[in-house]
């Protein structure tokens, strides 16, 4: 039985994962961490990782970028692999993640769904053909009104995926409100919509002369992320130090 700590157990994702993990027979949540616990859970809950003395094989994190340093410190100290799903990390925090992964297994992914991870692959091929033919690339993401970070981690990861296929030739433009010139070919425009209860939508738009190709992923429930996170936790438990991604989980 794999023992898991749910970091952010009172949050929207923490609660969905608690339900999904309870239905699994080879993984169990042995502790939850959240500073302001308001919901009932069938496992012990601690207000911080430092106060948690429960032994575990893996930590699943859906919290806030502010919590990342403490999380990495704990995971190195206790030698517990961590599935890091929180988005909105600064460049410095991403570096800390990379450094930590030399000492403990870290799987970081801005999107745990199968569909988005397939999309990352598909748009590489599309970019090679369509950008070469002069198509402009824009990414549009839509999320619920409680989301703190913009653009979404997924939108950035989709842009990074294209850039990886295209020798890093693109820069990202998030706001054109002060711009008074036509877009340049080497930009990827990234726009964010926030409203209501939208779970998560991502459009990758390749716009050419007289034709547009759009790749779209729509999340209809948070369960797709939760299932991916539980699969990632099972994959990561017992792994040696290194930086892993959902690609490693899906291809296993
Ligand atoms: N990779 C993926 O597939 C997905 C990633 N996400 C990302 O996951 C993160 C969380 O999303 P979501 O669940 O919707 O957000 P919520 O705000 O609903 O939940 C986050 C929870 O973490 C708690 N928290 C904050 N700081 C700490 C800390 N230091 N230790 C423990 N718990 C803490 C919050 O408490 P409090 O409210 O009291 O601050 C809250 O209960 C976001 O960054 C989001 O973008 C979301 C969905 C999918
Ligand atoms: O905050 C969310 O809800 C989501 N966040 C992730 C992101 O920033 O990309 C993944 C998903 O789209 C839901």
Q: Left, alpha or beta for 131 (phi > 0: left; psi -120 to 50: alpha)?
A: alpha
Phi and psi at residue 89, to the nearest 5°: -70, 145
Q: Give the integer Cα–Cα distance in Å for 43 and 31.
A: 6
Q: Give the integer Cα–Cα distance in Å for 73 and 249.
A: 24
- Starting at the edge strand found earlier in the chain, the sheet holding 136-143 runs 171-173, 187-194, 136-143, 200-208, 211-219
Fold of the 114-219 domain: Dihydrodipicolinate Reductase; domain 2 (3.30.360)
Task: Spell out the per-residue pLDDT of the chain, length 252, in tens.
Answer: 999 999 999 999 999 999 999 999 899 999 999 998 888 889 999 999 999 999 999 999 999 999 999 999 999 999 999 999 999 999 999 999 999 999 999 999 999 999 999 999 999 999 999 999 999 999 999 999 999 999 999 999 999 999 999 999 999 999 999 999 999 999 999 999 999 999 999 999 999 999 999 999 999 999 999 999 999 999 999 999 999 999 999 987
User: How far, in Å, from the CA of 61 to the mean position of ligand 1?
Assistant: 8
Which residue out of 11, 12, 140, 153 has the highest number of ligand 2 atoms within 8 Å of its CB and is therefore the one to mutate?
Answer: 153
Q: Same CATH topology for 2-108+222-250 and 114-219?
A: no
The catalytic residues are 143, 147
According to the CATH classification, is domain 2-108+222-250 in 3.90.1300.10?
A: no
Convert 109-139 to b/e letters by CB count within 10 Å (16 or more is b): bbbbbeebbebbeebeebbeebbeeebbbbb
Domain boundaries defined on the chain: 2-108+222-250, 114-219
Residues annotated as binding site for NAD(+)?
A: 8-13, 34, 85-87, 109-112
ipTM greater than 0.95: yes
Which residue out of 6, 15, 62, 158 has the highest number of ligand 1 atoms within 8 Å of its CB and is therefore the one to mutate?
Answer: 62
**pTM above 0.90?**
yes
Nearest to 60 by CA among 20, 88, 114, 25: 20
Q: Give the integer Cα–Cα distance in Å for 141 and 73.
A: 32
């Amino acid at each position: 039985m794999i023992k898991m700590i749910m970091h952010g157990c009172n949050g929207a994702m923490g609660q969905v994962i608690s339900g999904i993990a309870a239905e699994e027979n080879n993984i169990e949540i042995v502790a939850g961490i959240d500073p302001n616990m308001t919901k009932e859970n069938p496992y012990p809950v601690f207000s911080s990782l430092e106060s948690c003395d429960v032994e575990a094989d893996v930590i699943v994190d859906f919290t806030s970028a502010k919590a990342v340093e403490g999380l990495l410190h704990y995971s190195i100290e206790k030698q517990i692999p961590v599935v890091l799903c929180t988005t909105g990390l600064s460049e410095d925090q991403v570096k800390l993640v990379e450094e930590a992964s030399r000492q403990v297994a870290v799987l970081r992914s801005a999107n745990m769904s199968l569909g988005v991870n397939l999309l990352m692959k598909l748009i590489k091929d599309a970019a090679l053909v369509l950008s070469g033919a002069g198509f402009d690339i824009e990414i549009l993401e839509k999320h619920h009104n409680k989301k703190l970070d913009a653009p979404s981690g997924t939108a950035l990861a989709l842009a990074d995926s294209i850039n990886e296929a295209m020798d890093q030739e693109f820069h990202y433009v998030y706001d054109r409100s002060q711009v008074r010139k036509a877009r340049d070919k080497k930009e990827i425009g990234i726009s964010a919509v926030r409203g209501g209860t939208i779970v998560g939508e991502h459009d990758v738009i390749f716009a050419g002369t007289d034709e547009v190709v759009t790749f779209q992923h729509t999340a209809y429930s948070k369960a797709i992320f939760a299932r991916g996170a539980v699969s990632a936790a099972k994959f990561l438990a017992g792994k040696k130090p290194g930086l892993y991604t959902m690609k490693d989980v899906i291809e296993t």
